[in-house]
Amino acid sequence: MCLGIPGQIIAISDPARQMGLAEISGVRREVSLAPVADRPLHRLVGEWVLIHVGFAMAIIDEAEAAATLEALRELGEAQEALDQMAEGDRALAASPAPAEGAV
């Protein structure tokens, strides 16, 4: 099953690669904004988007985002996905940084 989760774009992290930082129920993830980049990227900050496998697939309004998150919570799917994302973030934070000059 494909699961799209609403998140809010809170920053542009890499304009050259069309990447932004999205907050999804308190979890922050870098996502590709390329599918929704129909305007200057800075104008996407504050917008709600439907996120699937690291891509912002569609712009949605705040009411739709809230209703979707609530429905997903009721189904229990959102929490499982958010837990997996948070676990991935913790694993990345715990891994040592590569040595300078390493590839």
Domains annotated on the chain, with CATH? 5-93 (2.30.30.140)
Task: Report the pLDDT value the prediction gives residue 44, as an integer from 0 to 100.
Answer: 98
Q: List phi, psi (to 5°) of 19.
A: -110, 145
Strand-pair partners of 28: 23
Q: What is the pTM of this model?
A: 0.71
Complete DSSP assignment for 26-71: TEEEEEE-GGG-SS-GGGGTT-EEEEETTEEEEEE-HHHHHHHHHH
Is the pLDDT at 63 greater than 70? The verdict is yes
Say which range, 22-26, 47-51, 89-93, has the weakest mean pLDDT: 89-93
